[in-house]
Amino acid sequence: MNSKNQSLLDDYVVFDIETTGLSVLTSQIIEIGAVKIKGGAVLERFNEFVNPEVHIPENIVELTGIDDSMVENAEKIDVVLRKFLDFIGDRLLIAHNANFDISFIRKASRDLGYKFSNPYLDTVTLSRFLNADLKSHKLDAVAKYYDLGDFNHHRACDDAEMLANIFFAMVEKMDRFDIKTFADLQRDMSENANPLTIKPY
């Protein structure tokens, strides 16, 4: 979304968030993890808990391993989000199921009066295009597909680092198809998209 036709080897930020639930209207961010990458290497890491000022539901604790005691002394979203926006600058963002993560960042930014308009790439959509033989495109399934080993799934910092490694593998695969820029990628996806395989609403 909003690509400026960057090269696939430019510097980007791969990120992930954990939240108290699925609704952007009623749930809060509890962790933001990100890695700044360029040319197949991780340049810098960002990892912050967020005090959501509400109780973290038991099902979220079970899923993420993050409980109230871990976030009670963390800074609130106004401080952590400002740090995150400074970290990403105007770089393109990469996330798995990006619309979910972006919607939380966008809403929090709007509520706090922060500017946020970064372009972004969804690696779920990219995986469906590149890895058409895969039945599941969940993060752990794609990591297994590329033989990238185990990781602490559903923790923002670990998910972001694993996704960076997945993206590096995807870039290598795209290079074999002579896809060098996001314009190349959008062209190939448009030309080869099969409407019958698109997930219906």
- Residues in contact with 4: Cβ distance below 8 Å, sequence separation at least 6, in sequence order: 92, 119, 182
148 close to 165: Cβ distance less than 8 angstroms: yes
In this structure, the number of other CB atoms found within 10 A of the CB of residue 187 comes to 12
- Whole-number Å distance between alpha carbons of 158 and 101: 15
The answer to whether residue 154 is catalytic is: yes
Count CA within 13 A, CB hemisphere, residue 117: 4
- Whole-number Å distance between alpha carbons of 32 and 28: 11
Catalytic machinery residues: 154
